[in-house]
Amino acid sequence: MRTAVYSTKIMKVVFKAHEEKLEINDKNFDHHTMRSIVEDSLNDQRKELIERILDQRISGLSVILESLGDLGNLQAISRTCDNFGVQKLEIIETKGPMKWTNRTSQGAHKWVTMQKWYETKDCLQYFKDRGVQIVSTAFSDKAIPYTEVDFTKPTALLMGNESFGISEVAREMSDVECIIPSYGYSQSLNVSVAAAIVIEHATSQIRKAHQGGGDFNEEQREFFKSFFYFQANQYSRALMREHFKKKAL
């Protein structure tokens, strides 16, 4: 497993979303301290926007993408996750790493925390060990309509490759298989479109169960507030470099 890494010439900043920990130059660093260093250069309007986004953010649904072949689809799904408040996106790269651009994601990958995996089994086992149900989109005799899935349970939604769908390993480890009913000749949807349909429905279920808001607890809210402050401030890296420079004197 790899985590998203933000680098400068003299600094490596890693937000470990699963552990809710921050590392700078491979050492633990208190995210509250980091936030206190960068927050003064954020205006009140941006801070208020972050608070509103945190109110709607969701941790009870993670999205897993297994071996996608089209970078455009991956970027579009990251944008969908951000739009509907899904914070964590898991990327299983069995075909090698993809290079990100802003072409389709509109910069959404800045706001969604992404974990990279190299083995499907490792990724799915991580969630199963924590009592999270694996819901995969797949054509099979046992697949149920996505509207019948209980997404109020902690869920990892698995989307497969554009051409081949989910792997056999993923199928064996899935707790639920679901399908989007089709009423046309093509009998299929682009994976990014399918993901958007299911994510919208799942997040609506979750918000209904939480009086119309997100499901972050206080610790999650604080950690991701720090993450958003860092990402929203164009001077974050410079401010952190200055902080370490002063400490070295």
User: Residue 83's pLDDT is what?
Assistant: 97
Lowest mean pLDDT segment, chosen from 56-60, 127-131, 143-147, 160-164: 160-164
Q: Which two tokens stand for residue 15?
A: 């937000």
Ordered by where they begin, the domains of the chain are: 2-51+217-248 (no CATH), 59-209 (3.40.1280.10)
Residue 53 has pLDDT above 80, yes or no: yes
CA neighbours within 13 Å on the CB side: how many for 44?
Answer: 0
Average pLDDT over residues 57-71: 96
Residue 246 has pLDDT above 60, yes or no: yes
CB 108 within 8 A of CB 82: yes
CB 134 within 8 A of CB 127: yes
State the CB neighbour count (10 A cutoff) for residue 123. Answer: 26
Q: Is 101 assigned a ligand-binding role in the annotation?
A: no
Q: Is 180 assigned a ligand-binding role in the annotation?
A: yes
Residue 34 has pLDDT above 90, yes or no: yes
Angle at 29 between CA 36 and CA 246, to 5 degrees: 65
Average pLDDT over residues 65-92: 96
More confident residue, 244 or 84: 84
Q: Is 166 assigned a ligand-binding role in the annotation?
A: no
DSSP string across 141-176: TT-EEGGGS-TTS-EEEEE-BTTTBS-HHHHHH-SE
Residue 89 has pLDDT above 70, yes or no: yes
pTM over 0.85, yes/no: yes
Residue 109 CB partners (closer than 8 Å, separation 6+): 75, 78, 100
Average pLDDT over residues 175-190: 92
- Residue 116's DSSP bridge partners are 2, 91
User: Residue 187's pLDDT is what?
Assistant: 78
- Rounded to whole angstroms, the Cα distance separating 185 from 243 reads 61
Which helix (DSSP H) or strand (DSSP E) does residue 7 occupy?
Answer: strand 5-7
Average confidence score pLDDT of the chain: 91
Residue range 191-231, pLDDT digits in tens:
999 999 999 999 999 999 999 999 999 999 999 999 999 99
Length in residues, the chain: 249
Of the pLDDT bands very low, low, confident and very high (cuts 50, 70, 90), residue 5 is very low
Residue range 92-137, pLDDT digits in tens:
998 766 655 555 445 667 999 999 999 999 999 999 999 999 999 9
Lowest mean pLDDT segment, chosen from 61-70, 102-111, 162-171, 211-220: 102-111
Lowest mean pLDDT segment, chosen from 4-8, 19-23, 122-126, 239-243: 4-8
- Rounded to whole angstroms, the Cα distance separating 178 from 93 reads 23
E strands present in 34-180: 58-66, 86-92, 113-117, 133-137, 144-145, 155-159, 176-179
Of the pLDDT bands very low, low, confident and very high (cuts 50, 70, 90), residue 6 is very low
Q: 3-class SS at 183?
A: coil
Residue 57: closest CA among 233, 236, 228: 228
Residue range 36-46, pLDDT digits in tens:
999 999 999 99
- Rounded to whole angstroms, the Cα distance separating 36 from 39 reads 6
Q: What is the phi-psi region of residue 46: left when phi exceeds 0, alpha when psi lies from -120 to 50, beta otherwise?
A: alpha
User: Please, what is the end-to-end C-alpha distance for the chain in angstroms?
Assistant: 36
Of the pLDDT bands very low, low, confident and very high (cuts 50, 70, 90), residue 160 is very high
User: Residue 109's pLDDT is what?
Assistant: 75
